[in-house]
Amino acid sequence: MTDPVPDNMRAAVYRGASVVTVDEVHTPAIGPGEILIKVEACGVCHTDLKKIEYNLLDPPRIFGHETAGTVAAVGSAVTRYQPGDRVIVFHHIPCGTCFYCERKLYAQCPVYKKVGVTAGFEPAGGGFAQYVRVMDWIAARGVEKIPEGVSFEVASFVEPVNTCLKAVEQCDPQPHDVVLVQGQGPIGLIFTMLLKLRGCTVVTTDTIASRRALSIQCGASFALDPRVEDVAARLRSLTGGRGADMVFVATAAKGLAEEAIRSTRPGARIMLFAQTSDKERIELSGASICVGERSLLGSYSASVELQAESARLVFSGDLPVNLLISHRVPLDKIEFAFRLATHPGEFPGENPLKIIVRPQELASCAL
C-alpha cells in the first residue's frame, strides 16, 4: 500500500541570483505513460551546484537528479511499474536513432538534452522535492528497480556511477595500468573504485587528509597531497621514469590539466570530467599533446548502454558507495547542504563528501 498523494508538496526552488528557497508547490500531475515517484533520497551533485552558483539556467527550477524513491502513482499506459515499487530514475534518455545516437554520443542527442523528470516549472531533475513526475520516454527506458535490502541512499548512486563508468569505458584502462585520479571527492572516489576493479594501480591526489585516507580504503595504492609532494615526479618514480598511463581530472581546481600533462607518459590518455562550466579555462602547450601523442578526452553525463551495469555495480555492493555518504539532511536544511558542499572550509570538522537530501524528513529527524 502507498500513502495518498497530496495536492501540494515541499520543494527546494531555485529563484535566481544563486538563491534557493524551500516552498510549498503543487504536486505534479502525470499523464498516461508517466510515473510519479515519492522521493526518499537525492544526492547533491556539483553539476547542479554550478548551475545555481553561476546562474546558468533561468529560474524558477527544481534541481536534483540522483533520485531514488517509491512509485506513488502510475499512468494508465504504464505496465512495468506499480505503486510501491522501489526505483531509481535517470533524468536523461536519448532517442536512439539520431546522428549522435548512431555514434553512441548519447549526451549530444537532442532528446537526451531534454530533461524528462520534473517536480514543476521547467524540468530540471526535480529530486530536491517530495515528488517527481517521470515523463513517458524516461518511464519507458530510464527507470531501474531497487532490490530488497538496498537502501534508497545507496541506490541514489546509480546515476553518478553511470557517469563515471562511461568515462572509464571511454579511456579503456588495462590491468596494471598506472592511473592518476586528481581529486577525491565523491566522483574521484568512484573513479578510484572502478579503476581498482579493472586491476589498475591507482594513484590519487587531494588536499584533504581524510579524503586521501578514504581513497586508500577505496582501492588507491598511493594517495598524495599535491601541496607538499611533486606529483609528476612521484608518478615517474613509480613507472620507471615514464609517467602515468592515464589521468582522470575529477575536480575543477586550477592547474590540474597542466599537472596531468606533466605526470603522464607520451601516448597517455587524459580525461577531463569536472570541467562543466564555460567559465573554466585551460591553457596547455600544443606540443604536449601533438608531439607527446597524448589524447585529451571529455566525458559528460550518463550512457543508456551502461544503465543496467551501473545499477548492478551499486546494488551488488561491488562498489562500496556507502563509504562516501558523509551527511544526510532534510529538505528544509538544503541551503546548509549546498553551502557545506561548495564552501567546506566554513564548517571545521565536517569533512563533506556525498550529501544526501531526504525530502520526506523534517529538520528534527536529520542525522
- Looking at the structure, tell me whether residues 17 and 141 fall in a common domain: yes
- Residue 363 pLDDT exceeds 90: no
Q: Determine the average pLDDT of the residues in 322-344.
A: 95
- Looking at the structure, tell me whether residues 204 and 132 fall in a common domain: no
Query: What's residue 360's pLDDT?
Result: 97
CB contact at 8 A, 181 and 202: yes
Query: What's residue 241's pLDDT?
Result: 98
| Domain-terminating residue out of 266, 298, 330 | 298
Q: Determine the average pLDDT of the residues in 140-168.
A: 98
Q: Can you give the CATH number for the domain in which 251 is found?
A: 3.40.50.720
- Looking at the structure, tell me whether residues 74 and 182 fall in a common domain: no
Q: What is the pTM of this model?
A: 0.95
In a domain, 304, yes or no: no
Summarize pLDDT for 338-350 with one digit per residue, the tens.
999 998 889 988 8
Q: Determine the average pLDDT of the residues in 321-326.
A: 98
- Looking at the structure, tell me whether residues 277 and 325 fall in a common domain: no
- Looking at the structure, tell me whether residues 121 and 184 fall in a common domain: no
Share of the chain above pLDDT 90, in %: 90
- Looking at the structure, tell me whether residues 146 and 229 fall in a common domain: no
User: CA angle, 318 as apex, 317 and 324 as ends, to 5°?
Assistant: 70
- Looking at the structure, tell me whether residues 148 and 176 fall in a common domain: no
Summarize pLDDT for 297-312 with one digit per residue, the tens.
999 999 999 999 999 9
Q: What is the mean pLDDT of the chain?
A: 95
- Looking at the structure, tell me whether residues 193 and 280 fall in a common domain: yes
Count the Cβ atoms, other than its own, within 10 Å of residue 47.
19
Query: What's residue 177's pLDDT?
Result: 98
Phi (first) and psi of residue 223, to 5 degrees: -130, 115
- Looking at the structure, tell me whether residues 142 and 265 fall in a common domain: no
The amino acid at 208: I
Q: Can you give the CATH number for the domain in which 109 is found?
A: 3.90.180.10
In a domain, 311, yes or no: no
The band of 1, judged by pLDDT with boundaries at 50, 70 and 90, is low
129 strand-pairing partners:
11
SS3 36: strand
In a domain, 65, yes or no: yes
Count the Cβ atoms, other than its own, within 10 Å of residue 186.
27
CB contact at 8 A, 139 and 78: yes
d(C-alpha 314, C-alpha 308), whole Å: 10
In a domain, 41, yes or no: yes
d(C-alpha 31, C-alpha 75), whole Å: 6
**Cα Rg of the chain, angstroms:** 21
Query: What's residue 344's pLDDT?
Result: 87
In a domain, 29, yes or no: yes
In a domain, 303, yes or no: no
Indicate the helix (H) or strand (E) that contains 170.
Answer: helix 158-171
Structurally, the chain folds into a number of domains equal to 2
Of 216, 231, 132, 146, nearest to 180 by C-alpha is 231
- Looking at the structure, tell me whether residues 66 and 144 fall in a common domain: yes
Residue 175, domain extent: 161-298
The band of 366, judged by pLDDT with boundaries at 50, 70 and 90, is very low
Q: When comparing pLDDT for 179 and 349, which is higher? A: 179
- Residue 30 pLDDT exceeds 60: yes
Summarize pLDDT for 45-87 with one digit per residue, the tens.
999 998 999 898 999 999 999 999 999 999 999 999 999 999 9
- Looking at the structure, tell me whether residues 142 and 171 fall in a common domain: no
- Looking at the structure, tell me whether residues 147 and 282 fall in a common domain: no
Of 147, 146, 166, nearest to 92 by C-alpha is 166
